[in-house]
Structure formats: structure tokens, C-alpha cells
Amino acid sequence: MKVYSSKVFSPLLSTFLVRRLVRKHLVTVISTTALTLGGAAIYTFNQPFLYESKGSLLIENAPTDGNSLSTQAAILASRPLIETALPKIPANLSTNLSKQDLITQISDHLTITPDAKVLNISYSDRNPKTAATILQGLLETYKAYGANKANQATQLIQAQIPDAKKQLDQNSTALTRFRQQYNITDPDTYAASIFSTKQGLATQIQDLQIKMAQTQRQLQELQRQVGRPADVAISSAILSQDANYQALVKQFQEAQTNYFLERARFQDAYPKVQALRDRRDQIYNLMQAQAQAILGTKPADVTPEGQSSIKQNLATQLFDTQTRLATQTAELGSLKIAQTQVEQVFAQIPQLQQTYIELQRQLKQASTRLSTLSQKLEEAKSQEVQEATAWQILQSPSLPSYPSSPNVILNLLLAGLAGILVAAIIITVLENSDDRLQQVSQLQTLSDLPLLGAVPYLATNAKLLSPSLELISERAFLPHSYNHSAFTEAVNSLALNIQNLAAQRTFKTIAFTSSIPSEGKSTIIYNLSLTLAELGYKVLLVDADMRKPTIHSLAGVSNKLGLSQAIATKLPWQQIIHTGDHSQFSAGYLHIITAGATPPNPMILLESNKFQKLLGEWDQTYDYVLIDTPPIVGITDAQSLAPRMDGVVLVTAIEKATKQAIFRAIEILKINNCKVAGILVNLVDRYDSIYCYDYSTSEYYSNQTPQRLLSAASDSDE
């Protein structure tokens, strides 16, 4: 028999599995769904019913990007803007609420959704008229806000312009004051000029020092020739004590310093520079004249009488040299003072440059701000003209007829789905914790034994094909739906499979066992014997379950004498068989041996030589010997019988046997080297179209009676 993989029928299996689980746990599904629906209904109908009024606002000049429109929607939904709409809301709508509470209520029930250039606005309230009235006031406020928006921008810019102008004037004045204070135009140019002056002073000092060294050597030579070296010190002392001369020296130093400082700022041709240079030269000449006036009489007074004219000439040169050296010394002092002052000014230049740059930056910033504000003012005025009619009410508020919240249908639908989901979770937990066999396809994971058949579950507790042996011939007169039920077809299929097995090898003595009790093997073997008898085979049905016999109840016969007496006594087995009163049974189609009295240990009887001899006689007498045995797991009776059978059929029932018990039963059969014909699954859901087919039409069947079938079977045997 070909066994199909479950993967081929996976979609059908999935559908069947869902249907089976729903039927099995129908109470769980209904109760869970009912509870969730009830809870959702209670919650829904206890919520206040809100009516939603809808309107829309068109913004012609709205930006194309969604972010700007979303920002606009957030502004319109803000509390300050809602507060401006309160005067447009009738007072009778807010008599029981404070101002802030009313704003909060409107904000909570207001929804603004941007869509392209349109703002879809909705408001919900328990009263539909109140919802429409409040929304109308909001739309009018928003329209006025759009019209005043550009005007507000213009006013805001205009308010900033005077401050920008004032700041620009202050920065410009500060820069001018800085230039006047330090008498500079550009700090960089000024720094270069000061540096040049500094270098020039250093050069002049160096040159003057060279000249003074030359004058000093000349003076020493003249002193050597004249022979009066002490005159230099005397002359210096005389000049240092003369107040007029010292005043001229001080004036010369100031004039020299001012001259060099002004040269750093202006060119030599500048009038002020020329005046300072002339002033310096004039003081220098006065210094020389004053020195000559002070020292002019000294050479004559100190020269001895009778000195020659040559010495007189040398004395004159010595006087001139002394005067020149004194003047050069005074000039060197003034140059060094000027150099010190120039270096101080040069050290201040970095700070001046930084201050100047900061003043320029502030001036530029103020100028840029004023220019930007002026430009934005022009743009705002132009925008104000455009936005005067840009905001329009596209859709006036509607008066809602039905509440929008809560959504009764949606809530109940979601609750129903949630109930189904919870039920599915519960069913999944229950199924995963249940080790019983749930569907036929699970057998493929337990064993590779062939599937001989699948017997459907019947709701009735009838004796299935026939309540008694006497009714075998009357089956042709039973209702059509009973004769050709799914159960009948399953038993017929099993009979054909057994015939096919018998054609392939010796397969006459067959034992039917199960893993646990109450799996329906006795009912199946009884109806199988009826079917084989109908086909014209000589069948012996033996009830070897001497612990809990069942066959006699199904067949409606006495169990006073049976298998136990046939083995334990000398009573011929032919005298204890049940053949019925009908002529068909007397012809030998079906014989039944019940279990008989229950012995103390049935296994001893089944292991006896007498029973082995009986098996041989039955094998010679009948076409098929069907033996009903106890469950093979935990009971040794079936384990004793199974190895001596031509074949063993393991009967397992859906939602009866556990997977562990089935696996153990197969393991026992293999350990005892039994010839396992296959597995027969009982109590299969008849809606499982893969394994069962419940014909509901009569076109598949002929009108032949069982008698004709028997005749046809007999003819074929012949």
C-alpha cells in the first residue's frame, strides 16, 4: 500500500487541522470570543459618544514641503491661538467651564491634519451642534490669523529698524573717535610707519655715536697738543650748571621726539612735520650759540701770556671740538628718549589693531543688519498684499449625524479578533501539552509502518454495520446513508487491503491489537469480519481478550462458552462457535468464538499447545482467522499471541492513544519479531478528506444488494 507524504497535502492538512481544532475546542473559542466581545461591548457603550464636525482651510501660498505645513498646523492648534478664538464661541457653550478649562477641552478635541495646501480641521463634542459651532469659530479665527500674519511680520520688522540704525550710528561714532584719539586712519599703515621710524632712530643713534667717537678722538688729540685735558670736564661742568643751556637741551629733546613721532604718522612734506623739524634745528643752533657764549671767554682767560699763535689756534679748535661734543651728547640723549617713546608706541600697536578690527566688525554687522531688515521689510510688504486673500475656508463645518467615537463596529470587530487570537493561544497551549495522537499525519514521525486504513469517528453508538449476525442479510434493506456511510467505506477499504496482503503472502491468521484500551479495535474487527463474509470468504472471528471481552456484545450472542473452554476443556471448538440462524451463516461465511469465562491467567492458555493446535485447525478450515487481542502495552496476552500470527494490525485511535504508548507498542512488536501488517487509525475526523470520504450522493453506487454481491464474489471464486 502506497503511503503518501504529508508534504504533498500540506495545504489540505493545514485547513483540516484548523477545522478539527475549532470543532474540538469549540467551547473554548466561543467562550473566549464571547468574553472579549462582552468586555468590549461594555467598555464601548460606557464611553461618551462624540460627534465630529469637519472643515478645511485653504492656504494658497503654503510652502510645498510638508514640514512647513505641519509647523503651521501646530501653531494653529496652540493654546494662545485657541484663546483668540474664544470671543467667536457663544457664551452659552462654556458657562460651566473656566477659560483655561475651555481652552484645554478645545485643544484635546481638536485635530488638524495637513494635506498639500489644505488643512483638514475637525472638532469632536458630545453635542453635534456644539462641535459645528466651535469649529466655525476656529476657522474664522484661523482665516483672520492668516490675513494678519503678514501685517504682523511687517510691524515686527519696522519695530527693529530704529534700533538697527541707532546701533549703526553708535558703532560709526566709536570708530571715528578711535581714529581721532590715536590720530590714525589705518592701524596697519600706522604700524608700518612706526616700525620705519623705530629703525630710523636706531640708525641715527648709531651714526651719531660714530660721530661722537670721532669727535672724542679729535678732542683727545687737541688736548694732547695743547696739554690741558682737564678743560673738557671743566667745560661740561660749566654747561651743566648753566640753566639756559639746560633748558635748551630739554627743548631740543622734546622737539626731536615730537618730530620723529609725527614722521611716523605723516610724510616729511606735511606742514606739521616741517615745522617740528625747523623748530628742532632752531633749538640746536641756539644750543651751540649758548655753549659758545658760556665757554667763549674761557680759553682767553686760561691761556698763559706769551703763548705762541699756534697754541692759540689749537686752543680755538679745542674749544670748538668741546662745544660740538657737548651738542652731540645732548642730541644723543634726545634721540634715545625719542627711541624709548617710539618703542612704547610700537608696543601698543597690536592692541590698537585688535580694537580697530572689532570696531570695524561691529560697524559692518550693524550695517548688514540694517540692510537685511530693509530688504525683509520690502518683502513683507509685498507678502502682505498677497496674503490678504490667501487663507480661505474651503469647507464649512458640517453638522454630524452619527457619532464618530467610539466606533462600535470596529471595537467589536477588534474584540472578536482578539478573542479568536486568545482562543488560538489557549488551544495552542492545550495542544502542545497534550501527548495524544491528534491527526493521522503524526504517525509518520513515529513509525514507517504502512497505513492500512483510516476509520472515521461516528457520533452514534450503533453497532455500525449490523447490530447482530441476523441482520447481515438485511443490510440491503437498511437506509442508503447508513449502508454507504464513511465508516462503511473505511471498513471496505480495509478489507481490500487485507485481500491484497493475502495475495502477496500467507496472510490468513491476523491479530488486532492496540496500545491502550478503548481504541475501538473490537468494533473494527467485528465489522471487518462482516465485510469479508459478505465477500464470500469463510471468516472466523475469535475474541482472545479474555480479560475484557467485547465481541459477544457487538454480535449479540452468549459468552457462556468460548475460547477459554475450547482451550481448557475437551469440548470441541466446533460446538462453541456461533453461526446464527440464517442460512448464509450455516453455509459457513462467518463464525464467531467468544472469549468465554475469564481464566485466572489468560496468558497460560494462549501459550498452551492446545491453542497452537487450534490455530492450525482454524487455518485449515477458514479463509481468514481474525483474532481480537488485548492492548499489547502492559498486557502479556497480546505479546504472547502476536509472534504466532501471519500478521498483526495495530489499531490506534485519534485523541485516545498517546504518542509514547504508540511508540512503545511498535517497539514491543519489533522486539518480538512480529509480522506487523500496518497501522489502522480509528476515530478519524470524517471531514479529513485526505483519509476519509463521506459520499453524499448515490450516483457512485449501484443498486446491487449484498446478496448479489455475495453471488458475484462466489462466482469469481469459482
First to last CA, the chain: 27
- The grid cell for 161 is 529698524
Predicted local distance difference test score (pLDDT) of residue 650: 93
Query: Which phi and psi (to 5°) does residue 370 adopt?
Result: -65, -40
Query: What is the pLDDT, as a whole number, of residue 418?
Result: 87
Q: pLDDT value at position 597?
A: 92
CA–CA gap between residue 296 and residue 83 (Å, rounded):
104
**CA 472/CA 594 separation, integer angstroms:** 18
HSE at residue 238, side-chain half, CA atoms within 13 A, is: 18
Could you tell me where the beta strands, DSSP code E, fall in 446-556?
A: 451-456, 509-514, 539-543
Q: Is the dihedral of CA 324, 329, 330, 332 positive or negative?
A: positive
List average pLDDT for each run of 10 residues in the chain, which is 718 residues long: 40 62 77 85 80 79 63 79 76 68 80 81 82 81 72 74 85 80 71 76 82 80 64 59 77 76 70 80 81 60 45 66 75 78 76 80 85 80 62 78 76 84 81 71 80 77 41 36 66 89 83 91 92 91 94 90 93 88 54 93 92 94 94 90 93 87 91 92 70 47 38 32
pLDDT of 656: 85
Q: Is 105 exposed, middle or buried (0-12, 13-18, 19+ CB in 10 A)?
A: middle
Beta bridge partners of 122: 54, 111
Question: Nine-digit cell at 233?
Answer: 670736564
Read off the pTM: 0.48
Which residues have C-beta within 8 Å of that of residue 533, sequence separation ≥ 6?
472, 539, 584, 589, 590
**pLDDT at residue 315 in the model:** 63
Length of the chain counted residue by residue? 718
Helix (H, G, I), strand (E, B) or coil at 89: coil
Cβ atoms of residues 130 and 93 within 8 Å: yes
CA 6, 10, 15: angle at the middle one, nearest 5? 125
Q: Which three cell numbers stand for residue 89?
A: 464661541
